[in-house]
Structure 1
Amino acid sequence: MSSSRTSPSRATASVASILKESADRHADAVAVVVGPTETTYSELWAETRAYAGALRAKGVTEGSRVAMLVPNVTDFPRVYYAILSLGAVAVPIHALLKQHEIEYVLHDSGSAMLVCAAPLLGEGAPGAGLAGVDVVTVLAPPDLVTGFDRLEALAEAAEPIDTYVPRDPFDTATILYTSGTTGQPKGAEGSHFSLLEQTNALLLSTFKIEAGDRLLGALPLFHTFGQTCTMNVAFRAGATMVMVPKFDGDTALRVMVEQHCDIFMGVPTMYMALLDAATRTESRPSLKYAISGGAALPVAIIDRFRETFGAEIHEGYGLTETSPVATFNHVGRTPRPGTIGTAIWGVDVEVADPSVSDSIVLMPNGSIGEIVVRGHNIMNGYLNRPDDTEKAIVDGWFRTGDLATKDDDGYFTIVDRTKDMIIRNGYNVYPRQVEEVLASHPDVRMAAVFGVPHETHGQEIEAAVVLAPESTTSPDDLIAFVAEEIAAYKYPRVVHVLDALPLGPSGKVLKRELVQRFAPAHA
């Protein structure tokens, strides 16, 4: 899907135009801030063109697949847009993967090269070696001998490109790997059209971001949320992205105050960390609003955030395969806490019968069903997996695997993932409902509810929580608290108090790890 199909008689497009056009329109505006270093749009585009010239000299051309293992620093957009400027395909890799996981992504994507940040060579270099892929480094000091070419030095010696290579709108621009909750991760191919149209739709009628706004870039840029919603949208608007290379609540709060950030985007775990950090300082940023996605955000957290920071959280919903946003509590309208909003411009979102796999059977409003999406934001497909693509995209609709209801105003409320639903004594239990109750307890900082095998009940309900440091609340206290609020078949029979919950690349709680950890006692 990533080969060029352009011709003089057809339309062209490139995600690289996002940076190029803003460099023309906002040349002296600051595009990126990392620590004390500021980079303007004109500087970023010039550095990107130089990187592209270096990659071209190394053999990267139209349709090449180039992997990148780079953290949240200025080199991420430099490398990302350099790859796209050449008409090549960017394959961002999660910065915490181990060598065999990196080898898998490189093999599966057919990447010809890995651009790896020097601090990540410990896993990146062996992974590339196993895959037989060439490595070029960034962020390596000149006096550090790595055994690999430094992209910065190559850029100084190479001829910069003049501008980006035009592509067919439906050529693949990025290959982003899903988290692999079942089986091996799959590479979702995002087209130039879907990524550009997503960016424009978010900027025009979903978010409210303008030149001069300052966004905290704490979301990992290798993930679709940070890459599209923060980086591409900010750059398209001519706004400033203030980056935090490694997120923690105290650092993020301090940087937002020091850098006068007025918009925050994060996943639920980030909001919980910010609220925790706010208990240790009275400093607050002047936020216009905040955006949440990646997983359901408990209403109790939304309320606490409003009280603490004086800003509303606008929650949305999407997946890697939908570029990513499908629904959102649009900025400019009063958000409805507990919902994921309405469909974004140009995208259809409905609820379908999850028991029918070979066609889409839409269900009436108010029914619990599977969220299905169609529109300009749908991926080209899963790389080299036509069977998986056929199962996922049916009658033009992408099947998300998430359960929700839709009301008569078009607002969706997530119920849960189909695979996370617990069946206890034949009754359906949706973990999110139980998590909402746990999150309302004043001592609970994070909570995850999951099912474990049980001889008598089929599955038993358990929970894992992270408590406030000073808390004296016991697991039995929490069980009794939840049992007072919901039906007897729904409350957790066991609560595990942990120092931290296992998190995936996008900040989602990895419930499968909790199941693996606590299920043996019930086997």
Structure 2
Amino acid sequence: LFILVVVVVVIFVCLLEMSGDSWNSEQQRLESLAYALEVNCAAHADREAMVFVEEGKRWTFGELNQAVCKLASGFLGVGLKSSERILLVGFNCSDLAVSVFAVSRVGLVFTLASPMLLKDCLSLLELINTIQCKAVVFYMTEKSEKYFSNLAHLIPKLLSSSDEGNGCLSSPCLTHIFVAGPGQINIKGAYSLSEVWNSVNEVVEVQCKPGADDLAAILLTSKVHGKPKAVQLTHYQLLKSCLIVGSELGLTDPTEIVCCVFPIFRGPAMCIALLSNALFGSKVVYPAEQPLPADMHLYFDQSNCTVSNAEIVRFEQSGMFLTEAGCMPIFFPKMAPCQKMTISVGKVHGNFEIKIVDQQGNRCRSGETGELCVHTLAGSKFLGYVVVGEEKNCLKEENWIHTEDLATVDKDGYVSLWGKTSDVINRKGTLLYPHMYERHIGTLQWIQSVQAIELPDAKNGENFCICILLKPKVEVNKDMVINKIRSDCSEAKLPPIDHILIMDEFPRTIAKRIDKTELKKIAKSMI
């Protein structure tokens, strides 16, 4: 009996130590992007880490680590310092991927942005000044060269400390501009990124390494419903977010191979693809520089990818990605009923908490429509938004993020989204909820898609406008469709509609989502 008791105690102590080691191991993995990558580079040095098909580049984890350390030393060598902010502008390419890890290694705070930003120079300048960038890197490739055609004209103006002759384009906070690209880069005032690489003779040891609670990135929210916000996220929040989503996708096995067809300047792609290199030691294949290439299925088969585009699309399209949370706080369980998948975006993950509140901030009952609020990731604190160079915590309540999404939660915990709180239309003091009309009108046999929007009006305050797309090859009288919609809404006791517009297509963002801001402009011009 004594021997049995001793054996049980020894086993119990061993289990405690194992669980403690496991917990400590996970905590260490979530310490920083740089530390997580170093661990996997050391463990899998000879295994492939990244493949860029269009560039013809293949890097092992050992080679990736060498590239990251060298570029990090180069950034320090040109005068950049820990905690300063850097903007990375480009589509998927090897230089961009390495830069994310390199700047994280030396404690620089990165922001990812689309090259489409260069279409509007003032928007670019506003972003640089808002997040107080010390440096910008433009990643120019042969296929994306058209987006960067004005760089030679733009860069000298951005770097000028004087407004003389430069209009309003000068940025007082900006000190360094780098350009990565094919061939020799020779733009006045800009460093060539290849020069930064080649200037390093010896890798510099980083003196002040970032920690879990240090600011890692300032990510931009989607501009589907208006102007993007700049959200501050820590190393822990980024890595824990990747751990949550990656575990659901089965990436915990380092032999998994991810095929990334989305741009990594978008939160979900960065979370699922780029960070999985650092956290799980997964191999990531980038088939093409620009998103969703036509022959992406061929790359998937040729590269023996195990995590399909369909899986990533499922997370992208069916769940709810919230930039402020760093990942998807709401998505479908693996065995979710098909019926729930057609009417909701999933259930809240165990590391998050949600609530639905009315306009007065009171909790709504099950099935009632209100604003969706998400509690920040367990074990972390929301650092807030960046507004005109200042960190602004816009939380109405401590660690509760008010998403501005209209939502309901059913008795089984499934969340349905019905638009934005800003979409609610105030017509002469009457609140109109767009989703009520969209659900009702969308059932008509000729309708392919419907969007309800508000338009400013001097008399009513806001007018209510319905925009519809008819199904292709449907021959129907447009006036009859409009009259049918009005009569059906009247029978359903819905308030009257001011305008009904039949369109050929809806404007969409690069992420293929309907661009409500642009839709309102088009509707206003049609009326």
The answer to which of 40-49 and 115-124 deviates more is 115-124
Cross-structure match for 1:271: none
Cross-structure match for 2:244: 201
Instruction: Please tell me the residue identity of whatever aligns with 2:58.
Output: E
Equivalent residue of 1:83, what SS?
A: helix
TM-score normalized with structure 1 length: 0.76
CA distance 1:37–1:474, change in 2 (3 Å) = farther
Equivalent residue of 1:141, what SS?
A: coil
Cross-structure match for 1:428: 432
CA distance 1:199–1:14, change in 2 (3 Å) = same
Cross-structure match for 1:160: 203
Structure 2 residue 214 is matched with structure 1 residue 171: yes
Equivalent residue in structure 2 for 1:233, among 257, 276, 281: 276
Contact 1:90 1:173 in 2 (8 A): yes
The answer to which of 245-254 and 473-482 deviates more is 473-482
| 1:409-420 superposed matches below 5 A | 409-420=412-423
Cross-structure match for 1:83: 103
Task: Give, in whole Å, the separation in 2 of the partners of 1:440 and 1:241.
Answer: 44
Contact 1:140 1:150 in 2 (8 A): no
Cross-structure match for 1:281: none
Cross-structure match for 1:250: 294
Cross-structure match for 1:92: 112
Cross-structure match for 2:354: 349
The answer to which of 474-483 and 155-164 deviates more is 474-483
Contact 1:429 1:490 in 2 (8 A): no
Equivalent residue of 1:112, what SS?
A: strand
Cross-structure match for 2:135: 113
Task: Give, in whole Å, the separation in 2 of the partners of 1:466 and 1:217.
Answer: 33
CA distance 1:250–1:495, change in 2 (3 Å) = farther
Equivalent residue in structure 2 for 1:291, among 314, 332, 345: 314
CA distance 1:288–1:519, change in 2 (3 Å) = closer
Cross-structure match for 1:137: 179
Cross-structure match for 1:383: 386
Instruction: Please tell me the residue identity of whatever aligns with 2:43.
Output: R
Cross-structure match for 2:149: 122
* Root-mean-square deviation over aligned CA pairs: 3.7
Task: Give, in whole Å, the separation in 1 of the partners of 2:444 and 2:244.
Answer: 34
CA apart distance, 1:478: 6.4
Contact 2:49 2:281 in 1 (8 A): yes
Cross-structure match for 2:32: 14
Cross-structure match for 2:508: 502
| 1:65-84 superposed matches below 5 A | 65-84=85-104
Contact 2:262 2:292 in 1 (8 A): no
CA apart distance, 1:40: 2.6
Task: Give, in whole Å, the separation in 1 of the partners of 2:404 and 2:94.
Answer: 35
CA distance 1:289–1:63, change in 2 (3 Å) = closer
Equivalent residue of 1:517, what SS?
A: helix
For residues 228-256 of structure 1, what are the alpha-carbon distances to aligned partners after superposition, in whole Å with 9 as ceiling and x for unaligned? 23321354223333323222462444544
CA apart distance, 1:323: 0.8
Task: Give, in whole Å, the separation in 1 of the partners of 2:451 and 2:356.
Answer: 25
CA distance 1:138–1:386, change in 2 (3 Å) = closer
CA distance 1:471–1:215, change in 2 (3 Å) = farther
Task: Give, in whole Å, the separation in 2 of the partners of 1:478 and 1:49.
Answer: 63
Instruction: Please tell me the residue identity of whatever aligns with 1:341.
Output: G
Cross-structure match for 1:149: 191
Task: Give, in whole Å, the separation in 2 of the partners of 1:370 and 1:348.
Answer: 14
Contact 1:136 1:149 in 2 (8 A): yes
Cross-structure match for 2:375: 374
CA apart distance, 1:494: 2.7
Task: Give, in whole Å, the separation in 1 of the partners of 2:365 and 2:400.
Answer: 17
Mark the structure with the bigger radius of gyration.
2
Structure 2 residue 525 is matched with structure 1 residue 516: no
Contact 1:67 1:92 in 2 (8 A): yes
Contact 1:321 1:378 in 2 (8 A): no
Cross-structure match for 2:20: none
Contact 1:60 1:86 in 2 (8 A): no
Structure 2 residue 49 is matched with structure 1 residue 31: yes
Equivalent residue of 2:314, what SS?
A: strand
Equivalent residue in structure 2 for 1:56, among 60, 76, 82: 76
CA distance 1:47–1:473, change in 2 (3 Å) = farther
CA distance 1:476–1:18, change in 2 (3 Å) = farther
Contact 1:138 1:152 in 2 (8 A): yes
Task: Give, in whole Å, the separation in 2 of the partners of 1:163 and 1:466.
Answer: 59
Q: Which has the higher helix share?
A: 2
For residues 168-198 of structure 1, what are the alpha-carbon distances to aligned partners after superposition, in whole Å with 9 as ceiling and x for unaligned? 3222111123346788643211111211221
Cross-structure match for 2:232: 189
Equivalent residue of 2:255, what SS?
A: coil
Contact 2:507 2:518 in 1 (8 A): no
CA apart distance, 1:398: 0.9
Contact 2:383 2:393 in 1 (8 A): no
Say how many residue pairs are matched: 463
Contact 1:422 1:429 in 2 (8 A): yes
CA distance 1:346–1:217, change in 2 (3 Å) = same
Equivalent residue in structure 2 for 1:399, among 398, 402, 406: 402
Task: Give, in whole Å, the separation in 2 of the partners of 1:164 and 1:433.
Answer: 59
Equivalent residue of 2:33, what SS?
A: coil
CA distance 1:473–1:174, change in 2 (3 Å) = farther
For residues 85-115 of structure 1, what are the alpha-carbon distances to aligned partners after superposition, in whole Å with 9 as ceiling and x for unaligned? 0011112222211322111111111111111
Cross-structure match for 2:8: none
Task: Give, in whole Å, the separation in 1 of the partners of 2:389 and 2:79.
Answer: 29
Task: Give, in whole Å, the separation in 1 of the partners of 2:375 and 2:182.
Answer: 43
Cross-structure match for 2:12: none
Contact 2:315 2:331 in 1 (8 A): no
Task: Give, in whole Å, the separation in 2 of the partners of 1:496 and 1:429.
Answer: 20
The answer to which of 459-468 and 76-85 deviates more is 459-468
Task: Give, in whole Å, the separation in 1 of the partners of 2:191 and 2:471.
Answer: 47
CA apart distance, 1:374: 1.1
Task: Give, in whole Å, the separation in 2 of the partners of 1:49 and 1:387.
Answer: 31
Cross-structure match for 1:270: none
For residues 289-308 of structure 1, what are the alpha-carbon distances to aligned partners after superposition, in whole Å with 9 as ceiling and x for unaligned? 74243xxx5xxxxxxxxxxx
| Unmatched segments (≥5 aa) in structure 2 | 1-26, 160-169
Contact 2:506 2:514 in 1 (8 A): no
Task: Give, in whole Å, the separation in 1 of the partners of 2:290 and 2:476.
Answer: 31
